[in-house]
Structure 1
Amino acid sequence: MGLDGDELSEAAWEKLSPQLAGKAGDVGRTAADNRLFLNAVLWVMRHGGTWRVLPARFGKHDTVRKRALRWAQKGTWQRLFAAVRLPDVEAVLLDSTIMRAHQRASGQVKKSAPATKPSAAAAAG
């Protein structure tokens, strides 16, 4: 993202752009504004506003909203999230020396309390 967090950085765009439809060479119309559209969605998400408060530099708010909905229906957002997802956490190994469990977690039987002995004061008086 850019310095203010509202725009995609070059590195992020390079990672996301191959996942998007409308590239040169794709069948149909070439989307010249995929990056602008993603920046508009980032602006709405970052500022927590509604689509109606989207700045005019991103285009008509209703057009951007409808396109975001179409991308959700087509699974485009899932493809983008998969492209930037961190490695699978199931492959992470944990060192068991740092893990502690309660003694009973291993099936240890609770020791019974030792029998109480009468005190000498009770016996004296």
Structure 2
Amino acid sequence: MVKVAVYLNAVDSLGGPFQCVTPKVNQYLLKTLAPQYRALHHHQLEPLIPNPLRPWYQSCTGSAGTVVFCDTAQYYHRGCPPVEQNRSAIFFSYFSRSPKYPFFASDRPFLARNGVPWQAISSPSYGLA
């Protein structure tokens, strides 16, 4: 999986930058955690990282027009919540038709594999129509 972000406005450290863990920390996490893909929230991930490996993430800041590429299948990542300004960005995700390690996000209510058909997602009751 590859994620591409295009910032439509300037994004600084308080504007909700895309963040991913550094390569050294990512390798540590992949060796430490179970061999299967594991989704973790920020508060679960931070205690796993020893002090010598800090700072443990890279914030991708930039001016309007900045493009960020990330291998989101291999790197732990997140969109940092904006604090002082809104972040306007377009995100693209590219997936293989036959992934080596399929991603199953059971905690995401919008996925059809969780029993929510795409027709229901686009209904007014979901607030997306």
TM-score of Structure 1 vs Structure 2, range by shorter chain = under 0.3
Computing the radius of gyration from Cα coordinates, the structure with the larger value is 1
Higher relative contact order (CA 8 A, sep 6+): 2
More strand by percentage? 2
TM norm structure 1 = 0.25
